[in-house]
Amino acid sequence: MKLLRYGPAGAEKPALLDADGQIRCLSQIVRDIDGFALSEASLKMIAGIDPATLPKVEGNPRIGACITRPVNFVCIGLNYADHAAETGNPIPKEPIVFLKSLSAFCGPNDDVKLPRGSEKLDWEVELGVVIGKLARYVPEHEAMDYVAGYCVCNDVSERDYQTNRGGTWDKGKGCDTFGPTGPWMVTKDEVSDPQDLPLWTEVNGKRYQDGSTQTMIFGVQKLVSYVSHFITLHPGDVIATGTPPGVGMGIKPEPVFLKVGDVMRLGIEGLGIQTQRVVAG
């Protein structure tokens, strides 16, 4: 089942995508794709509805983030062995965890704003894990019970802010529009193995990232358990699980960074495709 949200920013409505790719409105069934809708009982109830009985959404509406703004937007750094190698960093002994500002959270096809003075804007396609119920001190063998589904995330990053401006990575990760999420959340029953998903990024039609979640250092099960020992995860929270190689700062012989007018297109097999244009912030 593919759940999504459509409509103007701040006024999105819940929906599902039927087998023919038609958006069907869920606003008479649930108030939003929020923590309540992501509970096991609610997902089971929605799954039992014949999509043909739901109103069609006509036209080509804006697609919002696939879930409401979460309590926690958690990111994992350097979580692909081949990405760690391209950045010259050792493989982490434990997951690197940071929080992305919620002002970064936006729709999958919304414009990405180039911050004023930015010269090193970069892309990162990532598998997003959507939490389905309150998770605190979760044993690893139970971790998948807390997952509602998966989505595409772009952990947009300003590398100069991230690495050269002092302190933590947050300065380069939390700018407005730095967290496109969606286009939809695919429930976990439709993803047979989250550790075997191809994922990719193209910029202006050229493919830069072409990886697989197979090369994750810490898998989904480990990450959900691990993060829950430090941060209480709420229904609807997102864990962006790291990126494969091919980010702009790792391109040889010269890094490639985004500029106004560039177009990013990124996706994960079975989870959909995002497209963002870079605009002046």
Write the CATH number for 149.
3.90.850.10
For residues 266 and 152, give the distance between their C-alpha atoms in angstroms, rounded to a whole number: 8
Residue 231 lies in a domain: yes
Share of the chain residues as helix, strand and coil, in percent rounded to the nearest 5 = 20, 30, 50
Residue 180 and residue 105 in one domain:
yes
User: Mind listing the pLDDT tens digit for each residue in 211-235?
Assistant: 999 999 999 999 999 999 999 999 9
Q: Identify the helix (H) or strand (E) that includes residue 202.
A: strand 198-203
Domain co-membership, 217 together with 86 = yes
Task: Report whether pLDDT(164) > 90.
Answer: no
Looking at the fold, whether 122 and 253 belong to one and the same domain comes out as yes
| Residue 145: predicted pLDDT | 98
In a domain, 81, yes or no: yes
Q: Pull the structure tokens for residue 40.
A: 């096991």
Taking the C-alpha atoms of residue 55 and residue 134, their distance in angstroms, rounded to an integer, is 32
User: How much is the average pLDDT of 172-201?
Assistant: 97
- Per residue in 243-281, pLDDT (tens digit) is 999 999 999 999 999 999 999 999 999 999 999 999 999
Could you tell me the pLDDT band of residue 97, with boundaries at 50, 70 and 90?
A: very high
Instruction: Copy the structure tokens of residue 45.
Output: 């109830």
Separation CA 98–CA 159 (nearest Å): 15
C-alpha span between 126 and 134 (Å, rounded): 23
Same-domain check for residues 134 and 14? no
* Burial 240-269, CB ≥16 within 10 A → b, else e: bbbbbbbbbbbeeeeebbbeeebebbbbbe
For 63-92, how does the pLDDT look when each residue is reduced to its tens digit (9 = 90+)?
999 999 999 999 999 899 887 777 777 889
Q: Which domain holds residue 29?
A: 2-53
Global confidence as pTM: 0.96
Is residue 185 domain-shared with residue 117, that is, in the same domain? yes
The reply to whether 6 and 135 lie within a common domain is no
Predicted local confidence at residue 166, as pLDDT: 76
- Whether 78 and 47 map to the same domain: the answer is no
32 shares its domain with 164: no
How far from 30 is each of 3, 6, 17, 183, CA to CA, in Å?
A: 11, 14, 15, 19
Q: Which helix (H) or strand (E) holds 127?
A: strand 125-131
Cβ atoms 277, 113 nearer than 8 A = no
Total number of domains constituting the chain: 2
Checking if the pLDDT of 165 tops 90, the result is no
Give the C-alpha distances (Å, rounded to integers) separating 155 from 16, 27, 49, 142: 25, 29, 34, 27
* Helical ranges in 115-214 per DSSP H: 159-164, 170-173
